[in-house]
Structure 1
Amino acid sequence: MLPGCGALLPRPIGIDQRLAALPQRGLALQAPVSIRWNDHLVPWIEAGSDADLAYALGLVHGHLRGAQVALLRMVSRGRLAEIAGPLATDIDHALRILDFGRAAPAIEAAWPAETRAFVGRFVEGLNHAVLHGPRPREFSLLGLRPEPFTTADILTIGRLAGADINWLSYFSLLAERGRPGFGCRWQRTLEAGTGTAGPANPGQAALGAIFAGLSRAGSNAVAIAPSRSASGAAMLASDPHLGLSLPNLWMLVGMKSPSFHLVGMMVPGLPIIGLGRNPEVAWGGTNLRAASSDLFDVSRLPPEAFAERQVTIRQRLWFSATRRVRVTPQGPVVTDAAVVPGRPGEPIALRWAGQEPADEITALLRAARARSGAEFRASFAGFAVSPQNMLYADRAGQIGRVTAAVLPSRAGFPAGDPVLDAGDPAATAPWRRLWDARDLPRLEDPADGVLASANENPALWAKDAPPIGYFFSDGDRVARLRAMALAKPKLTPADLAAMQVDTVAPEAAALAAGLLVRLDALRGGAPKPEMLAPLRGWDGDYAADSRAALVFELLLAPLAPALQPEAGGRGPESSWNFLTTFLLRDLDALPPARREAVLRDAVATAAPRAARYRTWGEVHRLRAAHWLVNLPLLGRAFVLDSFPVGGSRETPMKSGHGLVAGPHEVSFGSMARQVSDMADPDANWFTLFGGQDGWLGSAAFADQVPLWRERRGIRLPLRPATVAAEFPRVTVLRP
């Protein structure tokens, strides 16, 4: 109990104290390893062998993020009820059905020797830190005990991070199939290019929160050719969009060994650099939003097609529970989970590329060692999940884009129903021939010298793209990024950093102007002209001090539900794609008297709210909080700060939200940043929303939040002399 209570009021711990706590006895090293640290507790590791580098990386991950990695394993293995008790049992059942470790044995069996050795040594170092280092306070609070990790655990965590973001939309649609108006709803969903709003039940909402916080769901990336660069070399910028809880889902690392020399971001518990830079290549990426899964109605399959087993789910402070898991040739039966709704007597299976024995770890280890754009591109053959747009810039001046995914070779998507018939050979045939990066679109050295990606539909840049997905981000972000990149003849790293914090949404300006036209056309003109005045001439900037952004969002909040189609659906079509696609069209389709009433009611509802608040940042706030904030009763003790923030759903500086009627907290958005200029090996800047250290009370737990707010970065150099100067603390690990 005492260590658990200590988590609520952790005592401050300095950088030197945290370094002194790093386990250094009994290390299974072949030779001494040097780790240099900067003032933010970012490690720069130099080892005489790749094996020792991997071991030291695992040790650092375990020391800085041991509790986080343990939680990732609990989620990926469907063991949350061991923490939360019976409240999480249905979530665990769904996670056991999805079975993120299903392909792990086949992946391990096919690993090249170099991958097997690197991952094995990483796990050894991770286990040494977890089993011999200080126990995180979260363990006592959550009832956890240190357990050794296996390579299968690492693969399972990796597949969790690669979860298909389409699942939540699929599961919401399953609740509506067969209801009146579903066909219309599905057609609108396809046209908007985004999923429906709202989970079907609280369990599905919890599952959605897990995937939104842990899977690589968003991001921006920009690559600039030498012709548009002030330095005369290619440049790259990338900023992932994920859950904004602390500790961050990335950690910063520098490393050097005989095969590796790079800096970048790593997911805790995974031995790969997701975004980074070596002396020859810099890379970043965005989620492709590809449909790497299909739903199948398996009700017509014979009984022998179902493999069934019972799983035991341990529940904290209660008896264990038993649940059924069924698997078919088209994947596990997801509707056996209570949190996934379905029609009675219609089992639905989910087939996912993440259940195939693809190999993301080998792909990213090879990418980290690439010495050219061509080598980087070739490394992604066989990379499956999560599907990514990988952008790169190399020292020779080439910039490029790789579609890194494993997808079924579809000829198209179903127009009337997202669920396929497992008994139809034409529906299952695409899964017999899988595409990967060698088959999917790529782009190199565009004529205008700019590559930008923001989860947009690949058809925007690859006119011959095969069927890739249903749901993509609105094109607003990518259009804004390209406009900013093309606005100046020569760009600097500072320009790229400014693009990452831009808060303008051009389509918001267009939508606001369209609403004003319709309001002005009302008898007697627009109501509440003083309230609407800030919208006139608004450029779509969601700056924290913007009055116009506040008024616009307060106006949308009552308007979108009023336009909800009569048939089908549980709630308003409130995602940005639905609003930009249908809001004005649906308004214009109403009879004139009804349209006038809807507009006047929306203004009347928004007016008192607009009088209560002054600016967008007053209602749009970013909370800095440990993930333990989700605990009942005790959660508020883990909130560090809350402050106004700019941005919106589809601004480059993404700060996601739904319909806005008043103050709310942002929980998803831009949570890490990278900028690299290939002219200088030291010209690499990174920032996390949070800090390096997951230890509660550590001086490096949230010390980068001010940097994030002030738009500053931490330099991660590659030259040895610069590393020595800027990473002054030295730890020497000895065998």
Structure 2
Amino acid sequence: MKYLGKLSGFARLMRPVFLILGIAVITCVAVVTVYLISAHTTSSGKRSIKSIGDSVTITFDEADIPHIKAKSQADALFALGYLHASERSWQMEINRRLASGRLSEILGSDTVKIDRFMRTLGIKRAAEQQFDRHSVGTKRLLQAYADGVNAGNAHLGWALPIEYFLTGSKPGHWSPTDSIAWMLMMDFDLGGNWSKELQRLELSQFLTTKQVWDVLPPYIQGEPVTNVDFSKMYRDLGVYPASVKGSSSQSHKLPANDLSANDLPGGKDGIGSNNWALSGKLTASGKPLLANDPHLGLSAPAIWYFAHLDAPGMNVIGGTLPGIPAIILGRTDQFAWSFTNTNPDVQDLYIERIDSQNPGMYQGPQGLMPFKVRQEIIDVKGEPSITFIVKETRHGPVISDAYARAKRSIDTDRFALALRWNALDVENHSMDGILEMNRSKDLNAFKQALRNIFAPMQNIVMADIDGNIAYQAAGVAPKRTLHQGLYGVAPALGWDKQYDWTGYVPYDQLPASNNPEQGWIATANQRIIAANDPNPLTADWDLPTRYNRIVELIQGKSMHDLDSMKAMQADTLSLGATPLLDLFKSTTSSHPLAAQALAVSKDFNGDMKIDSPGALIFNVWADQLTRNLFSRLGYLFTDQYGARSYRAALTEQVQNPNSPWCDDPKTPQVESCQDASNNAFDKALTYLSKEYGSNPQQWSWGNAHIAVSEHRPLGKVPVLGRFFNIQTPFPGDSFTVNVGRLELNNPNNPYQTLQAPSMRTIYDLSDLEKSLFIYPTGQSGWVQSKLYRNLNSLWAKNEYLPLQMKPASTKRQLELNSQ
């Protein structure tokens, strides 16, 4: 009884505490409830807005695609901006800050390195200069869109998306130049040749030019586009820092807080897309079919937002990029179009020689020249502002002051690395071309609009209801001559005029095709050369695995329909794996699980199916084999692995059973490629048994190959990431038509994918209302909305939704009225 009395007394003492806790819980629940009720996660009803010209009606179909009906193009784009802000406010805010180099204002010191690099490139400054060169009509439409964005953000009120509360921030003002800046960021994401040039410079510190070509082989084996011995040239000039002399490639790792090759947009293998068109001679309907799946980084929400714009002189539906006032990929009621990345070499690094007497000067072709300089200030949340100087040469911004990889690669007392990039040119007015594309009444007008596309250069495959299929490379690229100079493969000497750009390839000399006799057109970032110009647009095309497989699938049937187009987009046979299968299956191992692993892999043919144990075993083996061959490069390998797959180098080296790259330099004996393969298999089984258990029959590719649509930046926060990220098992690999590029540098899971089809579309030109689309997340950027992730399972299983201008039903309506 005494004990019970003590408990009773304790309870009396704790009553105030319980009361306070109860009140706190009730208050939290009340606040969350009020927030969820107040947050405008789905727009409907009527809104009165000062800055709109006339009333606009927006209906949302069953796929939640908004159909914007307006009386002018300016009002249509105002409404699109309003919807982008209503649905994707945080995504637009983080993108605006990324392009402007202003992330640190809300995210703190962790993003200073990114901000400094973006300020050095001068993305926002270039956008402001380019805006003045756009047509008056385009400027007005950009302003109308920006007004819509700002009106949409204002309408959100206090109940902003959760990210704003977590970062203590609010939506900033959107300007017309923010749209152009985001276009430039998309250009940068689709570029990246400069990163390969830098890698060749880094490798040349320790390797001969021939060995550099072993690691980064030319597109056609044994046929590099330049004959220059650049490795010797750099060493003879004394380009490298003194600390490198006598050291090895095992040292000089970057500090953990510096930018790596995987921290910046662009510069990664496999950033590209697939598209193909079939003429009526190959289709059951007798009319063309067109397919497209752009391979961009997965994000939550997705990069795309689908919409329909219907206004006088404009009737177009498809994928928009929040921040840009246009349909980027889509169709009208007469034709459809698709993009893949042509991936031309439009970025060159230049080694600039600094004057030893005056570091404010550098050597030009005719003598010394002053660096252009400007001061930048980065405001950092919770810390003092950072002031720094950006330098520019006649070629462009000096990146070696802002990027540790570049700084580590040269003697910065004597040299600087500057970037020449066409997208920064003041003549870049691609927004004119994009808006003209949206206004085009037919395919001929659309082709004319493509002449105003400056950057990024794209492979545009088109088809119309009259039965035409066509291809055009649109954009600008510097003129180069095969085997002359460095051909853009490695940093050039800034003081030598022979390496300067002498103009761009004329539009009429770019690759093009109209209604080819074979009845099909396909691109997948493979080598493309114009018939009237034998000089390739770059030396760094992607491996042609996806293109070759698409051609196989097209030629494998005499007649195609929507179902066969779907099957092609879902195809997971890896032509990047098949050349390695003989070596893989000839492996011998004494590992306890070897017999079982080889048994479940014996019928594996390179098809990266989600339930395949063979696909998992093969990919882990190929990863370990790659590390066996190239990890001797030390930081020069580890810094790039993930951004580069090294598959071309691996495949080429193991063709020679006694390749010196297969020998383990740490052992006294000389190993063959078979020995390296056996060792890789042992390592693979050790890893697999640790991660997935000791029964190989229960292993599957989907256990490891997880598609992660990552929220920026909260997806990297351990607890919040589970809430904001969207994950699903996914088939394919870095080389399949249904691509899923491996993140081989990720220590937690090297086999996850952050880059896959960012959307899929199929257009049936016999009836464009039968067109289909899907993408990885959902239309909404509000994490608490069911529309944030509702498309993910459909996308993962290659299922589709209708892309219709005249949907059978609508589920809600929004009216924007002028006050």
Per the normalisation by structure 2, the TM-score is 0.81
Change (3 A) 1:238 1:556: same
Superposed, which structure 2 residues align to 1:157-168 within 5 Å?
157-163=182-188, 164-168=191-195
Q: Which whole-Å CA distance do the structure 1 matches of 2:395 and 2:657 have between them?
A: 39
- Partner residue, 1:468: 537
Q: Which whole-Å CA distance do the structure 2 matches of 1:80 and 1:193 have between them?
A: 42
- Partner residue, 1:615: 700
Superposed, which structure 2 residues align to 1:210-289 within 5 Å?
210-212=264-266, 217-289=271-343
Q: Which whole-Å CA distance do the structure 2 matches of 1:277 and 1:426 have between them?
A: 44
Residue identity in the other structure for 1:220:
N
Q: Is the 8 A contact 2:44 2:813 kept in 1?
A: no
Q: CA deviation at 1:476?
A: 0.8
- Find the partner of 1:689 among 772, 776, 785: 776
Q: Is the 8 A contact 2:348 2:488 kept in 1?
A: no
Q: Which whole-Å CA distance do the structure 2 matches of 1:560 and 1:463 have between them?
A: 39
Q: Which whole-Å CA distance do the structure 2 matches of 1:223 and 1:14 have between them?
A: 47
- Find the partner of 1:386 among 423, 434, 456: 456
Q: CA deviation at 1:97?
A: 0.9
Number of aligned residues = 720
Q: CA deviation at 1:555?
A: 1.7
- Find the partner of 1:330 among 374, 392, 395: 395
Q: Which whole-Å CA distance do the structure 1 matches of 2:717 and 2:759 have between them?
A: 28
Change (3 A) 1:296 1:514: same
Change (3 A) 1:538 1:448: farther
SS in structure 1 at match of 2:337: strand
- Partner residue, 2:61: 38
Q: CA deviation at 1:207?
A: 6.5
Q: Is the 8 A contact 2:724 2:783 kept in 1?
A: no
Superposed, which structure 2 residues align to 1:393-412 within 5 Å?
393-412=463-482
Q: Is the 8 A contact 1:514 1:584 kept in 2?
A: no
Superposed, which structure 2 residues align to 1:38-57 within 5 Å?
38-57=61-80
Q: Which whole-Å CA distance do the structure 1 matches of 2:572 and 2:35 have between them?
A: 35
Q: Which whole-Å CA distance do the structure 2 matches of 1:685 and 1:221 have between them?
A: 14
* CA deviations over 1:670-707 (Å, ceiling 9, x no partner): 12111111111312211110011111211211111122
SS in structure 1 at match of 2:459: strand
Residue 435 (str. 1) matches residue 516 (str. 2): no
Change (3 A) 1:214 1:508: closer
SS in structure 1 at match of 2:185: helix
Q: Is the 8 A contact 2:352 2:415 kept in 1?
A: yes
Q: CA deviation at 1:441?
A: 1.1
Residue 63 (str. 1) matches residue 86 (str. 2): yes
Residue 600 (str. 1) matches residue 600 (str. 2): no
- Partner residue, 2:651: 580
Change (3 A) 1:542 1:476: same
Q: Which whole-Å CA distance do the structure 2 matches of 1:69 and 1:213 have between them?
A: 23
Superposed, which structure 2 residues align to 1:635-674 within 5 Å?
635-639=720-724, 641-659=726-744, 663=749, 664-674=751-761
Q: CA deviation at 1:256?
A: 0.7
Superposed, which structure 2 residues align to 1:413-428 within 5 Å?
414=486, 418-428=490-500
Structure 1 residues 534-543 or 14-23, which shifts more? 14-23
Structure 1 residues 291-300 or 108-117, which shifts more? 108-117
- Partner residue, 1:95: 118
Structure 1 residues 580-589 or 353-362, which shifts more? 580-589
Q: Which whole-Å CA distance do the structure 1 matches of 2:42 and 2:487 have between them?
A: 58
SS in structure 2 at match of 1:674: strand
Q: Which whole-Å CA distance do the structure 2 matches of 1:28 and 1:710 have between them?
A: 43
Residue identity in the other structure for 2:682:
A
SS in structure 1 at match of 2:343: coil
Residue identity in the other structure for 2:817:
R
Structure 1 residues 596-605 or 487-496, which shifts more? 596-605
Q: Is the 8 A contact 1:295 1:351 kept in 2?
A: yes
Q: CA deviation at 1:509?
A: 2.1
- Find the partner of 1:120 among 133, 140, 143: 143
Q: Is the 8 A contact 1:503 1:652 kept in 2?
A: yes
**Structure showing greater Rg:** 2
Q: CA deviation at 1:200?
A: 5.7
Structure 1 residues 531-540 or 701-710, which shifts more? 531-540
SS in structure 2 at match of 1:490: coil
Q: Is the 8 A contact 2:711 2:721 kept in 1?
A: no
Q: CA deviation at 1:22?
A: 7.9
Q: Is the 8 A contact 1:550 1:615 kept in 2?
A: yes
Q: CA deviation at 1:192?
A: 5.4
Q: Is the 8 A contact 1:306 1:327 kept in 2?
A: yes
Q: Which whole-Å CA distance do the structure 2 matches of 1:10 and 1:474 have between them?
A: 52
Change (3 A) 1:99 1:415: closer
- Find the partner of 1:298 among 349, 352, 375: 352
Q: Is the 8 A contact 2:281 2:519 kept in 1?
A: yes
- Partner residue, 2:205: 178
| Unmatched 5+ stretches in structure 1 | none
Superposed, which structure 2 residues align to 1:344-355 within 5 Å?
344=411, 345-355=414-424
Q: CA deviation at 1:598?
A: 2.2
Q: Which whole-Å CA distance do the structure 1 matches of 2:255 and 2:595 have between them?
A: 41
Change (3 A) 1:527 1:509: farther
- Partner residue, 2:235: none
SS in structure 1 at match of 2:404: coil
Structure 1 residues 304-313 or 107-116, which shifts more? 107-116
SS in structure 2 at match of 1:682: helix
* CA deviations over 1:273-305 (Å, ceiling 9, x no partner): 211000122011111121111111121236643
Q: Which whole-Å CA distance do the structure 1 matches of 2:454 and 2:776 have between them?
A: 28
Residue identity in the other structure for 1:665:
Q
* CA deviations over 1:455-478 (Å, ceiling 9, x no partner): 11214x869442311322211101
Q: Which whole-Å CA distance do the structure 1 matches of 2:277 and 2:326 have between them?
A: 22
Q: CA deviation at 1:578?
A: 2.4
Q: CA deviation at 1:656?
A: 0.9
Q: Which whole-Å CA distance do the structure 2 matches of 1:25 and 1:207 have between them?
A: 47
- Partner residue, 1:321: 386
* CA deviations over 1:6-43 (Å, ceiling 9, x no partner): 9x999996999633478822242332211010234321
- Partner residue, 1:732: 815
Structure 1 residues 165-174 or 616-625, which shifts more? 165-174
| Unmatched 5+ stretches in structure 2 | 1-24, 225-248, 354-362, 664-668
- Partner residue, 2:7: none
Q: Which whole-Å CA distance do the structure 2 matches of 1:564 and 1:215 have between them?
A: 17
* CA deviations over 1:302-348 (Å, ceiling 9, x no partner): 66431111100110110000111011110111111143423122101
SS in structure 2 at match of 1:211: coil
- Partner residue, 2:552: 483
Change (3 A) 1:624 1:9: farther
- Partner residue, 1:563: 629
Q: CA deviation at 1:204?
A: 6.0
SS in structure 2 at match of 1:337: coil
SS in structure 2 at match of 1:255: strand
SS in structure 1 at match of 2:788: coil
Q: Which whole-Å CA distance do the structure 1 matches of 2:423 and 2:92 have between them?
A: 20
Residue identity in the other structure for 1:365:
L
> RMSD over aligned Cα, in angstroms?
3.4
Q: CA deviation at 1:173?
A: 3.9
